[in-house]
Amino acid sequence: MTLARLDHALETGALTLPDGARIVFLEPSPDADLGSLSGLDLTVQQNFKPAFDLFEAMGLPVTTDAAGPADIVHVTLPRSRELARGLLAKAEAVAAGGLVIVDGAKTDGIDATLKFAKDKVTIEGQTSKAHGKIFWFTSGTAFEDCALPDPAPVASGWFTQPGVFSADGPDAGSEALIAALPKLIKGRGADLGGGWGFLTKHLLDLPGVTHIDLVEADQRALNCARLNLTDDRVALHWADAATWGVAGSLDWVVMNPPFHTSRTPDSSLGQNFIRSAARLLKPKGTLVMVANRHLPYETTLATSFAQLQELEGDTRFKVLQADQPRSSDKPGRARRR
């Protein structure tokens, strides 16, 4: 997604943004072309580390918790309904009497959000473009009761928060991975894309595990992990797993890698995680991962590791073990964040 809907609303004159206005973008897509908005005082709020880094590299002020007052707050609608409503509450708090612009795809529920908003505020304008809608209203306190709840235990006892992966409780793929986990895993390792900590918590039960780096890009998920994991063998990192860490430093990596960008399936995410695991592992290191059966990871695994076997599987998931990373995956230089 670019800012096609905002651009369209501005180009058609449906919406105008006064020169010099202070505008806060709440969690825009990483490919949003904010550079096209000249003459405005921009701030970006980002919770997802790779996107945070990207906007920062563009020279924009980026924060994980925007503060007001702003003249205008632009909300990019996320997939989760509760998170979307939480961002509307945040937008009103930051705009404090200014304009709130809500921008989203049909597949992310913009129509339902517009309907919800119409019951609470007067919609001052709206346009449709790029399989979605953008609408705006003057902020007040209408969404005060929609604030994103703090992390709290779900039925299974885990702390999660709306909007994080598998917010209702453990993911079935991760449960399959735990059931098949080789008990011989020992030493220092990492849980890449560790979410709110389900895999790490189970890895701590293995007697030979001495240290776990949980690497997660979603700061809200990491805040939940902090509540689920109190063992001092765990270090939490808000980082992009594709670039994090020191090459050749780990005995093992365990992961249930991401496979979606918003709603779009994207196997390149998991493939990047596999290459990163190979880079991070010592020459005799082991990767154990779970994936949906249909995801095409075997070629990347065979290129990155000398040995590959399937430990467990059914029609939905495959649990794969890869050993002996090939040295070509180690650039010899890496950074720790």
Ligand X SMILES: C[S@@+](CC[C@H](N)C(=O)[O-])C[C@H]1O[C@@H](n2cnc3c(N)ncnc32)[C@H](O)[C@@H]1O
Interface contacts to ligand X, rule CB under 6 A:
50, 165-166, 171, 174, 193-195, 198-199, 215-218, 221, 240-242, 256, 258
CB of 302 vs ligand X, minimal distance in Å = 22
d(CA 58, CA 276): 25
Nearest CA to 196 among 172, 211, 217?
A: 217
Q: Of 5 and 202, which CB lies nearer to ligand X in the complex structure?
A: 202
CB of 218 vs ligand X, minimal distance in Å = 4
CB of 221 vs ligand X, minimal distance in Å = 5
Which residue sits closest to ligand X, CB atoms considered?
A: 193
Structure-token match 């209408």, residue found: 142
CB of 259 vs ligand X, minimal distance in Å = 7
Q: What are φ and ψ of residue 312, in 5° steps?
A: -160, 150
- Compute the chain's Rg from CA coordinates: 22
CB of 182 vs ligand X, minimal distance in Å = 17
The C-alpha angle 100, 218, 76, rounded to 5 degrees, equals: 20
Q: Of 135 and 198, which CB lies nearer to ligand X in the complex structure?
A: 198
* Strand boundaries in the chain, DSSP class E: 22-26, 41-45, 62-63, 72-76, 99-105, 125-129, 132-138, 152-153, 159-160, 187-192, 209-216, 234-238, 250-255, 260-261, 264-265, 281-292, 305-313, 317-325
Q: Of 27 and 240, which CB lies nearer to ligand X in the complex structure?
A: 240
Q: Of 81 and 120, which CB lies nearer to ligand X in the complex structure?
A: 81
CB of 162 vs ligand X, minimal distance in Å = 14
Q: Of 136 and 238, which CB lies nearer to ligand X in the complex structure?
A: 238
CB of 304 vs ligand X, minimal distance in Å = 17
Q: Of 174 and 304, which CB lies nearer to ligand X in the complex structure?
A: 174
Q: Of 98 and 258, which CB lies nearer to ligand X in the complex structure?
A: 258
Amino acid at position 272, single letter: N
CB of 158 vs ligand X, minimal distance in Å = 9
d(CA 1, CA 30): 8
Q: Of 42 and 221, which CB lies nearer to ligand X in the complex structure?
A: 221
Determine contact, residues 212/236, Cβ cutoff 8 Å.
no
281, two tokens:
């592992």
d(CA 148, CA 219): 14
Q: How far is CA 138 from CA 88, 124, 125, 166, in A?
A: 12, 8, 11, 34
Centre a 10 Å sphere on the Cβ of residue 248 and count the other Cβ atoms it contains. Answer: 17
